Amino acid sequence: MKKILLTLSSFLSVFLCQAQWAPLNSTTTVKLNDVDFIDENYGVIVGDGNTILLTTDGGITWNDANHHNISGDVTNVTLISTDTMYVSTYDFSSATGTVYYSTDAGLSWAPVAADPGLNHRIDLEMNAPSGKLFASSSHLISSDDHGTTWDTLLSNIAGTTSTDLLHFADSQTGSLSGNISGFIGYSAYFFRTEDAGAHWYAGDPFSFPNSNALTTMCFVNADTAFAFMNQYSGWAPSAVNRLVKIFNFNLSIPSPGDTSYVFSNQMVNTTMPDYMNDARFEDSSNGLAVGNAGKIYRTTNGGTSWTVDYTDTCSSCPILKMDFENGTGYAVGANGILVKYGVTTGTPEAAAASFGIYPNPGHDVFYIKTNSAKASLEVYNAIGELITAAETGNEYRLDLSGYSKGIYFAKLTVNGKAVSKKIVLE
């Protein structure tokens, strides 16, 4: 679930703590489309090929939460409690999607909504504290009884419009954003509500400074958002990425004409380092974004400049989604990418976190180097099977000759504190 009421204290700790991103073993190599945690330990990741995986220990172990009840690619997950969750699926070949509901932590699932003729995936969002569920696809619908009945809020918004990003800044203000196609490409487009989803109005397209396509949009507060954009070359993304700050939303009621939201804009950055897929801002200065180049980026000056917080070993694997709870962050993406952001202060954690793997990617032989004179090393394959274990010093020679090419995970434990890093065997 993309939390509506991200408390200042929980997200602020992301920027104030000495911490870092580290890869975890997701036990899969499929594309992971979404992640949702209800606290720092209990969460779900979902992805292509029926993938629904649940953890209760902060991502150390993962268990199947599908149990062969759902088929197709799972695109979104929304957690309500340790027992109750929603997921949505999308079948590109048949252009259909379904919302499913579980009240027993994924042991069983029941369909609660379906949409034939989709042109994009179904997105889910929970409007707290009312507990109303929103689902966007060909229509924007909502339910306040766990999917038993649905109200249609916006009809037939598919076709030339593809709006598949649902976000709420608070319990009243939300947006449904995406793109509208024109003659030569795509332009950013969104709907906005300021009354908890009862009424939605389109954003004024002429309030944008250009006609770039939207890649993702996130709120700073109810009246300020950041729009990450790409200057499409025809119908394909280009290398030109921009960041626009939009603010001062006002409802315009023209006569004649359609009611819409007009707003101010500020071009913040015309040379963004990547095509961004998801972003979170703690305030108007501090933010994180994940991109197509397998990187997580950080800004401390409102998006004017960005530094790399994490680089995955698979540089061609997009990172797609993030979620934060109580200062702990998780991000997922293609090729089973799963990385965790957590506090690493203190000697044992710092020693473990600082270990390196060289060369990586590599062939057959890798070297594990650490600041600690004594540590325990465990190496797992992509499905979580332990393939070797050893006690290490400052340097350890790891021989993976004879193993299949692919993704492996090295877990180093120092004084009971463990950190994992990904190994790519070519």
Residue in this structure with the two tokens 């002429």, named with its chain if needed: 206
Query: Tens digits of per-residue pLDDT, 99-114?
Result: 999 999 999 999 998 8
What pLDDT score does 372 carry?
73
Is 123:167 a contact under the CB 8 Å cutoff? no
For the segment 340-357, the average pLDDT, to the nearest whole number, is 60
Is 316:1 a contact under the CB 8 Å cutoff? no
Q: How confident is the model at residue 53 (pLDDT cuts 50, 70, 90)?
A: very high
pTM attached to this predicted model: 0.83
> Residue 102, CB half-sphere, CA atoms under 13 Å: how many?
24
Torsional sign, CA 258, 260, 264, 267: negative
Instruction: Evaluate if residue 1 carries a pLDDT over 50.
Output: no
What is the DSSP-derived secondary structure letter of residue 334?
A: G
Q: What is the 3-state secondary structure (H, E, C) of 43-78?
A: EEEEECCCEEEEECCCCCCCEECCCCCCCCEEEEEE
What pLDDT score does 351 carry?
47
Is 34:77 a contact under the CB 8 Å cutoff? yes
> Which of 118-127, 213-222, 253-262, 417-426 is least confident?
118-127
Instruction: Evaluate if residue 3 carries a pLDDT over 70.
Output: no
Q: What does R_g of the chain's alpha carbons equal in angstroms?
A: 22
Query: In the CATH hierarchy, which top-level class contains the domain 8-343?
Result: mainly beta
Beta-strand relationship, 201-203 and 260-269:
parallel
More confident of the two residues 18 and 357: 357
For the segment 339-367, the average pLDDT, to the nearest whole number, is 71
> Which of 20-24, 250-254, 391-395 is least confident?
391-395
> Which of 140-154, 164-178, 283-297, 337-351 is least confident?
337-351
- CA gap 95, 132 in Å, rounded: 26
- CA gap 198, 174 in Å, rounded: 11
Instruction: Evaluate if residue 307 carries a pLDDT over 80.
Output: yes
For the segment 78-101, the average pLDDT, to the nearest whole number, is 88
What pLDDT score does 311 carry?
93
Assign residue 62 a region (left: φ > 0; alpha: ψ between -120 and 50; beta: otherwise). Answer: beta
- Structure token digits, residue 381: 């394959």
Q: How confident is the model at residue 17 (pLDDT cuts 50, 70, 90)?
A: low
What pLDDT score does 103 carry?
93
Average of per-residue pLDDT values in the chain: 86
- CA gap 244, 267 in Å, rounded: 5
Percent over 90 (pLDDT), the chain: 47
> Which of 41-55, 191-205, 267-281, 362-376 is least confident?
362-376
Q: What is the CATH number of domain 348-425?
A: 2.60.40.10
> Which of 193-207, 241-255, 278-292, 373-387 is least confident?
373-387
For the segment 164-188, the average pLDDT, to the nearest whole number, is 85
- Structure token digits, residue 316: 């061609």
| Top mean-pLDDT range of 116-130, 287-301, 396-410 | 287-301
Choose among 355, 298, 317: nearest CA to 22. Answer: 355
- Structure token digits, residue 328: 């702990």
Q: How confident is the model at residue 346 (pLDDT cuts 50, 70, 90)?
A: very low
- CA gap 79, 35 in Å, rounded: 10
Q: How confident is the model at residue 129 (pLDDT cuts 50, 70, 90)?
A: low
Residue 19's H or E segment, with its range, is strand 19-23
At residue 352, φ and ψ (nearest 5 deg) are: -70, -40
For the segment 327-337, the average pLDDT, to the nearest whole number, is 94
Q: Residues with Cβ < 8 Å from 94, sequence gap 6 or more?
A: none
More confident of the two residues 43 and 380: 43
- CA gap 201, 183 in Å, rounded: 24
Q: How confident is the model at residue 234 (pLDDT cuts 50, 70, 90)?
A: confident
Choose among 38, 20, 23, 8: nearest CA to 342. Answer: 20
Q: Residues with Cβ < 8 Å from 255, sequence gap 6 or more?
A: none
Choose among 253, 266, 135: nearest CA to 204. Answer: 253
- Domains of the chain, residue spans: 8-343, 348-425
| Top mean-pLDDT range of 33-47, 134-148, 252-266, 343-357 | 33-47
256 cis-preceded (ω within 30 degrees of 0): yes
What pLDDT score does 247 carry?
96
For the segment 352-359, the average pLDDT, to the nearest whole number, is 71
For the segment 242-248, the average pLDDT, to the nearest whole number, is 96
- CA gap 28, 211 in Å, rounded: 38
Q: Which value, to the nearest 10 degrees, does the dihedral of the CA atoms of residues 377, 383, 387, 393 take? A: -10
Residue 189: exposure state from Cβ atoms within 10 A (0-12, 13-18, ≥19): buried
What pLDDT score does 119 carry?
60
In 3-state terms, what secondary structure has residue 165?
A: strand
What pLDDT score does 282 carry?
85
Residue 54: exposure state from Cβ atoms within 10 A (0-12, 13-18, ≥19): buried
